A and B are shown apart, each in its own frame.
Chain A
Amino acid sequence: MNIWVFAQEANGAPTSATLELLTKARGAGSVTAFLGGDAAGIAGALGEFGATKVYATGDLGGKLPGVAVSAAMKAVIDGGDAPDLIMFPQSYEGRDVMSRLSVQLDRTVLTNNIDLSVDGNAVSVTTPIFGGNVLVTTAFSGSGPFLAAFRPKSFVAESAGGGAASVVAAPVPELGATGSARVTAVHTEETHGPKLDEAAIVVSGGRGLGEAAKYEMIETLAKLLKGAPGASRAIVDAGWVPYSYQVGQTGKVVKPGVYIACGISGATQHMVGMKGAKNIIAINKDKEAPIFGIADLGIVGDVHKVLPKLIEALQSRG
């Protein structure tokens, strides 16, 4: 089976989601990475995790990846190198590229998957629904290329010890009207401490904090535990913290050693993003809150009373 992985790069290295997909793909077939950008700096890492070839578009010149990379993929496919399956990270760009390509190829898309099964030419994927309580396995029908997106942390990235992948240019063809949007400036939100989706401990706050200013307790606690602060969708929508803090179906998927949910009731949307944590501590006033159904340690109490004492106790340990 010939598998492409839509590769993404951040800070000069492939993203962890890219490496996870390469690892899974190499167990199921021969792997080509397809990159929207310049491969010079990362062909080594892509090869190490299982890609034998890298298609690279070169610099996109401010074009949005959805339109540009899908058109470059379509050009390679029309040129005779058609994959059986293309795996995308469930990320902003992954979603856009696969959406555009699905129309160009007239193929269905399956998103939000957490597992892949390949048997001969048959490909199926597994998707959690209803907050992860039910797993649906869906098989692609008809002919490839099959298009599937996988949530971050669905697979564990492991080096294959491979050498650098060979790089083949896959330039973006003329796009016409669809390609007329341009990125004019890039803004990076500053973060301190470990990244939310890589931290060993995540401390998240929700509506139960009552007001934006109380989020400081979450940041203090996260810092004391050398963890990352997170948030429920409710307080992100309310504008208390930036979107990059959001844990859940539409935010980050986290699987830390310990997840501490403070004033979070446990909406389905949130639980999907954190129920993979090894240990869960929940503090909430409402003893009926769904979060207690999955917590290893549940504290029925007021975050405004419990958190200051917890912070003081940790500070006094030095």
Chain B
Amino acid sequence: MNVIVCVKQIPDPATPGALNADNTLKREGKLILDESDGYGVEMALQLVDGAGGGEVSLVSMAPNGEVSGMRTALAMGAAKGTLISDPALSGTDALTTAKVLAAAIQKMGGADLIIAATESSDGYTGTVPEQLAEVLGLPSVTFAKRLTVNGQTLTVDRQTEEGYDEVTCPLPAVISVTAGVVEPRYPSFKGIMAAKSKPIETVTASDLGVTPVGWAGAGQSIVNVAKAEARAAGEVIEDDGEAHAKIVAFLENLKFI
């Protein structure tokens, strides 16, 4: 079984985000593997292991030839990757991103299963997996919180507002996985060393024949960026053993008790 995992390399969420002059997100310096993608990589590795053959490949779109996040996924056990990196892609919207990823996946020869996170932790548009499925003409199951593969059929517990649905779907297919679907492994020292020599092919948007891209293809323009009204901090006290009485008084004052 061959699985392709879409991985995003993002600025470290621990550092405050900032915008460039053209209102794109600053993505300078080292990018890291989006934590949400660790679940998909782990799921893919377990499925390929369980199938007793095949491999896990990665596809990623990132500026400046960035591969450090992909190396993390390779260190977990993925075999190889394709990176789409092209200055023309700056400002690309979710729809064009899906078209670019779909073209790269076709160039990679497709897969039995394509896995993505439900949304990225930096842009969180949250539409790429389902758009990707439509571009590729594949069925999809989004928001998977558990999944198994039996022959050519996927069985998925799909998150809903009220609980979850059991869904079956034939392969090939696209799925998006929620955090918690599996526990991602930590890369071993051996894995980290091995990852350094695993192949990553770099291509441009024009290599893939996808145009237009970037702001030109985005169908949208940012017209204003403003600071939101800040919520002021109130009273902060150290608990002296009687802080609970403060809370009771606060709730009484508001007539909630």
Contact = CB atoms under 8 A, between A and B. Distances in A.
B166 A184 contact: yes
Given A95-B127, A181-B169, A296-B235, A138 B16 contact: no
B245 interface: yes
Nearest to A256: B256
B193 interface: no
B256 A243 contact: no
Interface of B: 13, 16-17, 19, 23, 93-95, 98, 118-119, 121, 124-131, 133-135, 137-143, 145, 158-170, 173, 178-180, 218-228, 230-231, 233-239, 241, 243-248, 250-251, 254, 256-257
15 contacts: A95-B127, A135-B225, A135-B226, A186-B160, A187-B163, A225-B256, A225-B257, A237-B179, A244-B161, A258-B251, A281-B250, A297-B234, A298-B235, A298-B236, A314-B257
A183 to B, nearest CB: 5
Given A106-B95, A109-B94, 13 more contacts: A66-B140, A124-B223, A133-B230, A137-B223, A177-B139, A178-B140, A186-B165, A187-B165, A275-B231, A293-B231, A296-B250, A301-B238, A306-B239
A133 to B, nearest CB: 6
B135 A103 contact: yes
Which 7 pairs show the lowest CB-CB distances between chains A and B? A301-B239, A99-B130, A108-B219, A298-B236, A296-B234, A181-B169, A103-B134
A186 B163 contact: yes
Pick from A92, A106, A110, A176 the residue with the most CB of B within 10 Å.
Answer: A92
Interface stretch (A18-26, A139-147, A206-214): A139-147
Contacts of B230: 133
Given A128-B228, A135-B226, A298-B237, A258 B254 contact: yes
A234 to B, nearest CB: 10
A105 to B, nearest CB: 10
A106 B222 CA distance: 19
Nearest to A302: B239
Q: What does DSSP make chain B's interface, helix, strand, loop or mixed?
A: mixed
Interface size class of A (residues with CB under 8 A): 35 or more
Interface of A: 10, 15, 64, 66-67, 70, 91-92, 95-96, 98-100, 102-104, 106-112, 124, 128-130, 132-142, 176-189, 200-201, 225, 233, 236-237, 239, 243-244, 249-250, 257-258, 260, 268-269, 275, 279, 281, 283, 287, 292-302, 305-307, 309-310, 313-314, 317
A53 B86 CA distance: 46
Contact of B131 (A100, A112, A201): A100
A95 B130 contact: yes
A218 B218 CA distance: 45
A298 to B, nearest CB: 4
Contacts of B127: 95, 98-99, 102, 109, 111
A281 B247 contact: yes
A94 to B, nearest CB: 10
A103 B98 contact: yes
Contacts of A237: 179-180
